């Protein structure tokens, strides 16, 4: 099952104000470390989960992971987590030492709010890596998670998103990096 291209183009667009973008789309890659490395992929969205996509991942996907194995998880999300989800991510990472989480975001949600900045910093202190998606990340999501349409290309879209991201301040108040570290 793949994301419709129209949802990807609308929901992952890096805009300052997310008018009409009241869902989070979360594409995930789970790399299981062990005798045999296994990679699995999928996506979640708020509507299908009856919860925020981040919480849905912890409620439906994470329980399938064995505590004896190590997991490197990468999320490609349309928007960075809200404060409540950021707190849950922090709590989950602190409880699950076998879990490494990298979150690649299309745009930062309420990034100017002090409460949001504090929540993102707590996520970082718990070991979460948070990054603004670069053109190659948009391209990866396009190739691996989005329904392909005849003649469609993600490059122009990805470049446009990256230019907008670089013109914004990041969570730490510096310009040009688009990272919460």
Catalytic residue list: 54
Query: Pick from 21, 136, 144, 138: which is nearest to 82 by CA?
Result: 21
Q: Which two tokens stand for residue 21?
A: 């973008």
Q: From residue 144, how far is each of 25, 40, 147, 150, 159 by CA, in Å?
A: 14, 11, 9, 16, 18
Q: Which two tokens stand for residue 81?
A: 């987590």
Q: Which DSSP symbol is given to 20? A: T
Largest CA distance in the chain: 46
Question: 122 with 86: CB under 8 angstroms?
Answer: yes
Helices (H), the chain: 5-11, 46-49, 53-56, 83-95, 114-125, 135-145, 155-166
Q: What angle do CA 81, 181, 161 make, to 5 degrees?
A: 60
């Amino acid at each position: 099952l793949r994301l419709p291209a129209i949802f990807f183009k609308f929901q992952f667009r890096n805009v300052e104000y997310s008018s009409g973008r009241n869902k989070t789309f979360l594409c995930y890659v789970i790399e299981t470390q062990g005798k045999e490395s296994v990679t699995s992929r999928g996506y979640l969205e708020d509507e299908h989960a009856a919860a925020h996509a981040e919480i849905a991942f912890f409620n439906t996907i994470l329980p399938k992971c064995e505590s004896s194995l190590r997991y490197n998880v990468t999320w490609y999300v349309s928007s960075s987590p809200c404060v409540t989800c950021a707190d849950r991510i922090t709590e989950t990472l602190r409880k699950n030492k076998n879990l490494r989480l990298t979150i690649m975001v299309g745009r930062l949600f309420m990034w100017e709010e002090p409460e949001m900045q504090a929540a993102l910093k707590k996520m970082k202190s718990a070991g979460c890596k948070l990054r603004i998606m670069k053109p190659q990340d948009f391209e990866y999501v396009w190739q691996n998670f989005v329904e392909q349409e005849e003649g469609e290309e993600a490059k122009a879209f990805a470049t446009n998103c990256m230019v907008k991201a670089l013109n914004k301040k990041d969570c730490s108040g510096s310009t040009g990096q688009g990272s919460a570290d």
